[in-house]
């Protein structure tokens, strides 16, 4: 289901220090065909031997970065029911993939039915962040959301969180916010739907229309992805990702701050767009 290159780290005696081992390794998460349970394993890439095979139950563990360690990318698999810790260091040269792996590891640890995928674009984004087929008549420059689209985005986020019962409460769940009911205004806007379709799975059956999107939102795979995103937000794992998307660092600290930042970003873009129109009229 998921695998990536990582070495092990050993605790130095009874201290809080850990030392990385040079052995090339591979972390793998998969559901065993024999017992149907999620296995977190570490394989020695030099010998081919699996030196660690842990059976994990949903929400039993989390995979987080050790920020107190400098000069390396060290992560710890820690358990909620014990003080047991397993330390690993990333061996992939591309550091930009760290967030990708951590996001998917925690998605699987939270729910073994989670479908590993790249961290999704901001919820209700009006612009696609994934590659899409070129239109028949491409615009001269990169398309920008219109003022009306930005205004609708902000209203959607506000109404969705209000429907969930709070604007930024600690118990706010993405599965309560992203529902067919709260997104009904979006389904009536073909221009916004077309901006979202490129983010849907390429092998999605049926036509790409509002009804298909409704089915996606109600699917168990989509809800599992939302739970994985929510877990990543609640543990602060997406702080670097949200910054790269133009959001403030605090947007990666929880569902409420994340949605609020999207709303504020849309409002700022709307004000800038309106200000630009005023300057053009003045000129």
Residue 106 tokens read as 């925690």
| 118 or 96, greater pLDDT | 96
Which range in 61-65, 132-136, 217-221, 224-228 is most confidently predicted, on average pLDDT? 61-65
Residue identified by tokens 């289901």 is: 1
Residues 74 and 151 in one domain: no
pLDDT at position 168: 43
Does the residue 126 lie in any domain? no
Total residues belonging to the chain: 283
Does the residue 35 lie in any domain? yes
Residues 155 and 89 in one domain: no
Does the residue 108 lie in any domain? no
The helices-and-strands tally (H runs, E runs) of the chain is 9, 8
pLDDT at position 18: 86
Query: DSSP letters along 88-134, please?
Result: EEE--S-GGGHHHHHHHHHHHHH-TT----PPPPPTT-SS--S--PP
Residues 153 and 90 in one domain: no
**Contact call for residues 120 and 245 (beta carbons, < 8 A):** no
Between CA 18 and CA 101 the distance in angstroms is: 22
Residues 184 and 277 in one domain: yes
pLDDT of residue 277 exceeding 90? no
Q: What is the gyration radius of the CA atoms in the chain, in angstroms?
A: 21
Residues 6 and 91 in one domain: yes
| Residues whose CB is less than 8 angstroms from the CB of residue 208 and which lie 6 or more positions away in sequence, other chains included | 193, 197, 200
Least confident of 14-28, 138-152, 212-226, 258-272: 138-152
Which residue, among 104, 105, 146, has the nearest Cα to 126 in the 3D structure?
A: 146
pLDDT at position 202: 61
Query: Of the residues 60, 80, 97, which one is the last residue of a structural domain?
Result: 97
Count CB neighbours of 108 within 10 A: 24
Residues 154 and 262 in one domain: yes
Which range in 66-80, 164-178, 265-279 is most confidently predicted, on average pLDDT? 66-80
Does the residue 249 lie in any domain? yes
| 141 or 42, greater pLDDT | 42
CATH number for the domain that contains residue 73? 2.30.29.70
Between CA 233 and CA 99 the distance in angstroms is: 12
| 75 or 274, greater pLDDT | 75
Work out the pLDDT band at 230, boundaries 50, 70, 90: confident
Residue identified by tokens 């600290």 is: 253
Residue identified by tokens 């995103």 is: 229
Task: Give the pLDDT mean for 101-127.
Answer: 71
Does the residue 206 lie in any domain? yes
Work out the pLDDT band at 251, boundaries 50, 70, 90: confident
| 265 or 241, greater pLDDT | 265
Residues 175 and 237 in one domain: yes
Q: Using the CB atoms, write b or e for 129-161: b if 16+ within 10 Å.
A: eeeeeeeeeeeeeeeebebebbbbbbebbbebb
pLDDT tens digits, 182-226: 878 777 777 777 777 776 666 566 677 888 888 878 877 677 777
| Residues whose CB is less than 8 angstroms from the CB of residue 236 and which lie 6 or more positions away in sequence, other chains included | 252, 253
Element of type H or E holding 272: helix 255-282
Does the residue 152 lie in any domain? yes
Work out the pLDDT band at 125, boundaries 50, 70, 90: very low
Task: Give the pLDDT mean for 134-142.
Answer: 35
Residues 177 and 248 in one domain: yes
Does the residue 70 lie in any domain? yes
Residues 164 and 62 in one domain: no
Question: 74 lies in which domain range?
Answer: 2-97
- Three-state DSSP at 145 gives coil
Query: Of the residues 67, 97, 127, which one is the last residue of a structural domain?
Result: 97
Residues 154 and 91 in one domain: no
Model's pTM, two decimal places? 0.44
Work out the pLDDT band at 114, boundaries 50, 70, 90: confident
Work out the pLDDT band at 160, boundaries 50, 70, 90: low
pLDDT at position 282: 43
Residues 158 and 86 in one domain: no
What's the total number of domains in the chain? 2
Does the residue 125 lie in any domain? no
pLDDT at position 23: 93
Task: Give the pLDDT mean for 55-66.
Answer: 90
Query: Of the residues 78, 97, 116, which one is the last residue of a structural domain?
Result: 97
């Amino acid at each position: 289901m998921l695998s990536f290159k990582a070495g092990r780290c050993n605790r130095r005696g009874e201290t809080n220090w850990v030392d990385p081992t040079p052995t090339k390794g591979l972390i793998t998460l998969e559901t065993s065909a024999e017992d149907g349970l999620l296995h977190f394993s570490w394989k020695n890439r030099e010998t081919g031997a699996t030196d660690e095979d842990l059976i994990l139950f949903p929400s039993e563990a989390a995979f987080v970065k050790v920020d107190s360690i400098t000069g390396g990318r060290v992560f710890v698999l820690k358990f909620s029911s014990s003080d047991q810790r397993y330390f690993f260091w990333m061996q992939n040269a591309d550091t930009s993939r760290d967030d990708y792996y951590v996001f998917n590891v925690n998605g699987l640890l939270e729910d073994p039915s989670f479908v590993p995928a790249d961290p999704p674009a901001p919820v209700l984004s009006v612009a696609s962040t994934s590659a899409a087929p070129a239109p028949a008549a491409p615009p001269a420059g990169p398309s920008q959301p219109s003022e009306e689209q930005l205004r609708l985005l902000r209203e959607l986020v506000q109404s969705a969180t209000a429907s969930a019962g709070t604007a930024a409460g600690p118990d706010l769940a993405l599965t309560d916010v992203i529902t067919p009911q709260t997104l009904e205004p979006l389904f009536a806007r073909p221009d916004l739907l077309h901006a979202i379709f490129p983010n849907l799975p390429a092998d999605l059956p049926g036509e790409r229309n509002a009804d298909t999107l409704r089915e996606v939102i109600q699917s168990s795979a989509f809800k599992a992805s939302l739970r994985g995103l929510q877990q990543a937000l609640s543990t602060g794992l997406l702080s670097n990702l949200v910054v790269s998307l133009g959001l403030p660092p605090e947007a990666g600290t929880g569902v409420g701050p994340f949605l609020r930042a999207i709303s504020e970003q849309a409002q700022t873009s709307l004000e800038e767009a309106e200000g630009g129109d005023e300057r053009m009229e003045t000129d």
